[in-house]
Amino acid sequence: MTAPPDDCLARNEWICGAYLSSRREILWDAALQHVQLTVLAVLIGLALAVPLALAARRWRWAAGPVLGLTTVLYTIPSLAMFSLLLPLYGLSAALVVAGLVLYSLTLLVRNILAGLRAVPEETRQAARGMGYGPLRLLLAVELPLALPAAMAGLRIATVSAVSLVTVGAIVGYGGLGNLIYSGMNTYFKAQVLTASVLCVVIAVAADLLLLGAQRLLTPWTRRRA
């Protein structure tokens, strides 16, 4: 028997509206897990990267070890990284988040440090002359001026995390990656293509969202342009 002409699922086509309508909840749950893992990993990575960058800027001797360690972490293949973390976290979502956090540190630390180092020394001196203490100088002057470089790193780290989440499918926590891998194993064309396209949509949406946030937080860069 041949499949009905309007049954794209039976014909196993790449583009199939019936797949979208019949698997809407599955797609939504996978996309939601994908976003949650990405956001959690990037936020934790950012919380770790800021003090590391500040330490590297404050103590010059710390810059080499901090940058060197984060660079080495980024060179570890994702499957090897998850395998190394497996004894600590087991087969859990925490395993995927921990791996993504370690990967994000390279991009975040380097860009935050570059932004802090780019703050003109005369600007710091002027702020100190106005009575700014170290903490106020950091929060009111240095970090705002370092935002463009920091946001550039954050955007790259976020898009990278969106793509790396899919590797978490090997432990069952890969968001849309779960659908991609299961679809590849069964050669389910519509599932592979739909989940892949949704990954791209999430990455583009996250990048545009962060770009918009950057423009709102750094209005002086728009005026200069």
Task: List, in order of start, the domains of the chain with CATH numbers.
Answer: 19-217 (1.10.3720.10)
Residue 2 to residues 16, 91, 208: CA-CA distances in angstroms? 17, 42, 45
**The pLDDT of residue 82 is above 80:** yes
The yes-or-no verdict on residue 203 having pLDDT over 90 is yes
Helix (H) or strand (E) holding 126: helix 121-129
Question: Residue 5: pLDDT above 70?
Answer: no
Structure confidence at residue 222 (pLDDT): 63
Least Cα distance to 165 among 23, 31, 28 occurs for 31
CA dihedral 70, 73, 78, 80 (to 10 degrees): -160
Q: Say yes or no to pLDDT of 3 above 60.
A: no
pLDDT digits (tens, 9 = 90+) for 99-117: 999 999 989 999 998 888 8
Show the beta-strand stretches assigned E in 150-199. none
Q: Are 37 and 93 in contact (CB under 8 A)?
A: yes
154/53 Cα distance (integer angstroms): 14
When mean pLDDT is compared across 24-33, 110-119, 155-164, the lowest value belongs to 110-119
* Encoded tokens for 101: 């956090």
User: The tokens 């990455």 sit on which residue?
Assistant: 203
Judged against a pLDDT cut of 90, whether residue 32 lies above it is answered with: yes
